[in-house]
C-alpha cells in the first residue's frame, strides 16, 4: 500500500501599495517611466539623507489589516534588513521585523463549494527595491531605481494551505480584497502583486512538518498553481526514493515549469535586522483607527454572503460575482433595473465573460452596459423575444453597443406570437414530415422536439417556443 502525502503551504505576498508617492520620499510611484526619472537623493540612498514615512502607506496597511481581521499594533516600528545588491541603494531595506503593523487575521476561500479559512501571520510595511537591467546593455548592467522606495505590504499566511488550487484561490481572494480596499491595483504583470511560497510535504496524518523549501518568483495565478504542483511532485518523489528534502530557496522558471535550487540554507543571508534609528516608532491612535474602520467598503466575503441571502444565488455564483467590485457593481445595476438575479448571473458569467475573454477586455470596457442587459431581460420576460433570440440579441448588443429594443427592431427579431402565422408554419412542417407524424401517432412522443425544431428553423428562431409546442400537440392529436 502506498503512502498518501499532503502538502503544507504558506504564502508570502508582496503587494505594492497604490499610493501616489513613495514610502519615504515624495517621488512618484508611477509604473513604466523613463529609468531613474522618478528618483531623489532619499530614494537613491545618497549620504546624509533621511526617510520620512508616508502616512498613506500606514493607512493602507491598517485598512488591509482591518479587512482581514488582523490585530492592528498600536505601536510598531521599522527595522533595517541588511544585504548588498546593486538595486538596493542603501545596502539595507527598510522593513518591519519584530514589531509589524498588523498581526494575525484570516482570509476565507471557497473551493468546491466549501469555505476554508486561511490564517494570516502578519502584515508588515517595507520599501521595494529597484531593478537591475542586464538585457540589451552590452557588457554592463544598469540599475533603474524608479521602483526603489515604492511602498509594499508583505502579507504572510500561516501554513494553512493544502493544495496548489487552494493557493491560487487564496491569491485570488487576497487580490480581490486588496482591490476592493483600493490599496493595491493587483496587477501581477506589472509586479504589483508578487508571491513567494514555503512548501513542504508530509504523509497524511503525520503531525510534524516536513522540511520546507522556499519558492521564489511565482508571479501569476497560473504560475502559483504550476510551480506548487511541480514542487510538491518533486518533493514526494525525493521522499519516496528514500531521499531527504534540503532546506533551500528554489526559483521557479515559468518557461519550463520547473523549479531549481537558488541557494542552500548554508548560503542563506544573515540580514542583521535591527531597529531603524532614522524613524520613530509608528503609533496608531484609536481615533484614527476608528476613522479608518468606519470608512471600509463592503468586503468581498460580506458581499458574497449578502448575494446568497438577498438574491438567492448559489455560493459559487456569489463568490465569482463578488471577487471584484466592478463585477459586483455591474451585477447589482442589472438587478436594480429589474433583472432576475440568477438569470443576470448566468448571462454575466457565461455569455458576457466569454465575449470579454475572447477580446481580452475587462468588464469596465464592455460595450454592453448593465441597463442594456436589463432591457434585454425585460423583452424576454414579456415574450417579445425567446431565449434563443436573446443570445443573438446579446451578441449584437455587445458588438454594436445598441440597446436590445433597437437590435430587435433593426434585425426583425421579434418573436412570432401571432397564432395565425404560427399555425401556417406548423401545418407546413407537418405536411412535409408524414413519416414522423405517423411514428408520433404510433406513440413515439419524443418526436415533438423534432417538430418544434423544424418550426423554429423555418421561422429563423423567432417563433414563440411555448406556443409552437401547444399548437403542435393540438394538431397532432386532432389528426
List of residues contacting other proteins (CB under 8 A): 41, 44-53, 80, 82, 84, 86, 89-92, 143, 270, 272-274, 277-280
Smaller CB separation from other proteins, 113 or 277: 277
Smaller CB separation from other proteins, 117 or 269: 269
Reference 183, options 323, 15, 374, 17; nearest CA is: 17
Q: Smallest gap, in angstroms, from Cβ of residue 271 to other proteins?
A: 8
Smaller CB separation from other proteins, 80 or 250: 80
Q: How many Å apart are CA 34 and CA 252, to the nearest integer?
A: 29
Q: Smallest gap, in angstroms, from Cβ of residue 19 to other proteins?
A: 17
Query: Phi first, then psi: what are they for 387, rounded to 5°?
Result: -60, -40
C-alpha cell at 90: 542603501
Smaller CB separation from other proteins, 23 or 468: 23
Reference 224, options 329, 109, 115, 339; nearest CA is: 109
b/e sequence 63-98, b meaning 16+ C-beta within 10 Å: bbbbbbbbebbeebbbbbbbeeeebbbbebbbbbbe
Q: How many Å apart are CA 227 and CA 120, to the nearest integer?
A: 22
Which residues neighbour 66 within 8 Å (Cβ) at sequence distance 6 or greater?
A: 72, 289, 292, 293, 296
Q: Smallest gap, in angstroms, from Cβ of residue 44 to other proteins?
A: 6
Q: Smallest gap, in angstroms, from Cβ of residue 42 to other proteins?
A: 9
Residues 32 and 187: beta-carbon distance below 8 Å: no
Query: Phi first, then psi: what are they for 177, rounded to 5°?
Result: -65, -45
Smaller CB separation from other proteins, 140 or 446: 140
Smaller CB separation from other proteins, 273 or 316: 273
Smaller CB separation from other proteins, 91 or 453: 91
**What is the helix (H) or strand (E) element at residue 64, kind and residue range?**
helix 55-67
Smaller CB separation from other proteins, 139 or 434: 139
Q: How many Å apart are CA 72 and CA 81, to the nearest integer?
A: 22
Q: How many Å apart are CA 23 and CA 94, to the nearest integer?
A: 10
Q: Measured in Å, how far apart are the chain's first and last C-alpha atoms?
A: 68
Q: Smallest gap, in angstroms, from Cβ of residue 110 to other proteins?
A: 41
Q: Smallest gap, in angstroms, from Cβ of residue 265 to other proteins?
A: 13
Which burial class, exposed, middle or buried, applies to 40 when counting CB atoms under 10 A from its CB (0-12, 13-18, 19+)? middle
Q: Smallest gap, in angstroms, from Cβ of residue 327 to other proteins?
A: 41
Q: Smallest gap, in angstroms, from Cβ of residue 210 to other proteins?
A: 24
Q: Smallest gap, in angstroms, from Cβ of residue 121 to other proteins?
A: 20
Smaller CB separation from other proteins, 49 or 289: 49
Pairing of β 114-127 and β 258-264: unpaired
Q: How many Å apart are CA 423 and CA 332, to the nearest integer?
A: 41
Smaller CB separation from other proteins, 81 or 202: 81
Q: Smallest gap, in angstroms, from Cβ of residue 321 to other proteins?
A: 44
Amino acid at each position: 500500500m502506498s503512502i498518501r502525502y499532503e502538502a503544507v503551504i504558506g504564502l508570502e505576498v508582496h503587494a505594492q501599495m497604490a499610493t501616489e508617492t513613495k514610502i519615504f520620499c515624495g517621488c512618484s510611484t508611477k509604473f513604466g517611466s523613463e529609468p531613474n526619472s522618478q528618483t531623489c537623493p532619499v530614494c537613491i540612498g545618497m549620504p546624509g539623507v533621511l526617510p520620512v514615512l508616508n502616512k498613506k502607506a500606514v493607512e493602507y496597511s491598517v485598512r488591509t489589516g482591518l479587512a482581514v481581521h488582523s490585530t492592528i499594533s498600536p505601536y510598531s516600528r521599522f527595522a533595517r534588513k541588511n544585504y548588498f545588491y546593486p538595486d538596493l541603494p542603501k545596502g539595507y531595506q527598510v522593513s518591519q521585523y519584530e514589531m509589524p503593523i498588523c498581526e494575525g487575521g484570516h482570509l476565507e476561500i471557497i473551493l468546491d463549494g466549501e469555505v476554508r479559512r486561511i490564517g494570516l501571520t502578519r502584515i508588515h510595511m517595507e520599501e521595494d527595491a529597484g531593478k537591475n537591467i542586464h538585457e540589451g546593455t552590452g557588457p554592463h548592467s544598469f540599475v533603474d531605481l524608479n521602483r526603489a522606495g515604492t511602498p509594499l505590504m508583505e502579507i504572510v499566511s500561516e501554513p494553512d494551505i493544502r493544495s496548489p488550487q487552494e493557493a491560487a484561490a487564496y491569491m485570488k481572494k487576497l487580490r480581490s480584497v486588496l482591490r476592493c480596499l483600493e490599496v493595491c491595483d493587483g496587477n501581477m504583470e506589472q509586479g504589483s502583486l508578487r508571491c513567494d511560497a514555503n512548501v513542504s510535504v508530509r504523509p497524511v496524518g503525520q503531525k510534524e512538518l516536513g522540511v520546507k523549501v522556499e519558492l521564489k518568483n511565482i508571479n501569476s495565478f497560473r504560475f502559483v498553481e504550476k510551480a506548487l504542483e511541480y514542487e510538491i511532485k518533486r518533493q514526494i518523489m525525493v521522499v519516496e526514493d528514500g531521499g531527504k528534502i534540503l532546506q533551500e530557496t528554489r526559483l521557479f522558471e515559468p518557461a519550463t515549469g520547473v523549479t531549481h535550487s537558488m541557494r542552500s540554507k548554508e548560503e542563506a543571508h544573515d540580514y542583521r535586522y535591527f531597529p531603524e534609528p532614522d524613524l520613530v516608532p509608528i503609533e496608531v491612535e484609536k481615533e484614527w483607527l476608528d476613522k479608518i474602520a468606519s470608512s471600509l467598503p463592503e468586503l468581498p466575503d460580506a458581499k458574497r454572503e449578502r448575494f446568497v441571502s438577498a438574491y438567492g444565488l448559489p455560493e459559487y455564483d456569489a463568490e465569482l460575482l463578488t471577487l471584484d467590485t466592478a463585477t459586483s457593481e455591474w451585477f447589482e445595476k442589472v438587478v436594480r433595473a429589474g433583472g432576475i438575479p440568477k438569470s443576470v448571473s448566468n448571462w454575466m458569467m457565461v455569455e458576457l465573460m466569454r465575449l470579454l475573454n475572447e477580446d481580452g477586455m475587462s468588464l469596465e470596457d464592455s460595450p454592453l452596459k448593465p441597463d442594456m442587459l436589463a432591457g434585454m431581460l425585460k423583452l424576454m420576460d414579456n415574450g417579445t423575444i425567446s431565449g434563443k433570440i436573446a443570445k443573438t440579441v446579446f451578441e449584437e448588443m455587445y458588438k454594436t453597443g445598441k440597446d436590445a429594443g433597437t437590435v430587435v427592431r433593426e434585425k426583425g427579431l421579434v418573436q412570432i406570437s401571432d397564432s395565425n402565422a404560427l399555425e401556417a408554419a406548423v401545418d407546413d412542417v407537418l405536411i412535409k414530415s408524414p413519416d414522423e407524424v405517423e411514428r408520433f401517432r404510433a406513440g413515439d412522443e419524443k418526436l415533438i422536439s423534432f417538430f418544434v425544431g423544424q418550426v423554429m428553423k423555418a421561422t429563423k428562431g423567432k417563433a414563440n417556443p411555448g406556443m409552437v409546442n401547444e399548437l403542435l400537440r393540438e394538431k397532432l392529436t386532432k389528426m
